[in-house]
Structure 1
Amino acid sequence: MDWIKNIDWTAWIGTISLIIIFREASVWIMAQFHHPELGNLVGLLSLLSVLLLWRKFRKIPARLVDTNNKIMKESAFAFLPISAGSLIMMVHMGKEIPAFLLVLCISTLIPLWVYAKMAKKWL
């Protein structure tokens, strides 16, 4: 129970609140334009823009960076069921596997690599 005392609850609540507020506000704004499905993307880009703008004038607090790193590390487990489902689907695809892997690489790995490079350089 000692690990509970070591958690920076203010940073965790602030970081999660920041993410939720940007996401929900973006979904609401995009719903006004009749495209609520773009809310997540607009929220991500707007939060990234605000953080880049903030970093230009001030340093991003270390508490926010540390909490974000922990959230990203722990949220990787959320993708395990998706990975298992993809593996099961690939077993049944047969000759279509190369095309599927090409689409997977283009639509997932390359954007994640570019985002990581951007984050490393600008944040």
Structure 2
Amino acid sequence: MDRLKQIDWLAWTVTLSLIVIFREAAVWIMTQVKFPELGNLVGLISLLICLLVWRRFKKISPRIIDSNNRLMKESSFAFLPICAGSLLTMVQMGKSIPVFLFVMVVSTLIPLWVYAKMAKRWL
């Protein structure tokens, strides 16, 4: 119960609202221009750009930064079922696994690493 008292619910609500609003707006805009699959990426990049502009003129609240850090740590467990499903799929792929892993690294890990470096440096 003590851990629940330490959570800054307002900061969590603001952080989650920002993420959801930017994502949904980007998905809607990209659907209007017939590229709905780019919605998540456009939302992520537009949120990063807005935060960079905000930081240029004003400081980002430590409450928002702390809630974002905690959210990223806690949400990593949401990917465990996806990982289990991917492992089952990979077992059935056989000789295609090296190509699949190469595509995964290039399309997922490298952009995430670059995004983390950019966010750490500029935010």
Q: TM-score, normalised by structure 1?
A: 0.91
Partner of 1:43: 43
Using the alignment, how far apart are the partners of 1:69 and 1:81 within structure 2?
22
Using the alignment, how far apart are the partners of 2:31 and 2:106 within structure 1?
29
Using the alignment, how far apart are the partners of 1:37 and 1:93 within structure 2?
25
Deviation at 1:29, TM superposition (A): 1.9
Partner of 1:120: 120
Partner of 1:53: 53
- Answer with 86-95 or 60-69: which moved more: 86-95
Partner of 2:18: 18
- Answer with 79-88 or 28-37: which moved more: 28-37
User: 1:70-81 alignment to 2 at 5 Å?
Assistant: 70-81=70-81
Structure 2 portions without partners, runs of 5+ = none
- Answer with 44-53 or 24-33: which moved more: 24-33
Bigger RCO of structures 1 and 2 (CA < 8 A, at least 6 apart):
2
Using the alignment, how far apart are the partners of 1:104 and 1:38 within structure 2?
17
Identity %: 69
Using the alignment, how far apart are the partners of 1:70 and 1:105 within structure 2?
25
Distance verdict in 2 for CA 1:6–1:87, change over 3 Å: same
Partner of 2:107: 107
- Answer with 34-43 or 99-108: which moved more: 34-43
Counterpart AA for 2:42: V
SS in 2 for 1:59: coil
Partner of 2:32: 32
SS in 2 for 1:60: coil
Counterpart AA for 2:15: T
Superposition RMSD in Å: 1.3
Question: After TM superposition, what 4+ stretches of structure 1 lie above 6 angstroms from structure 2?
Answer: none
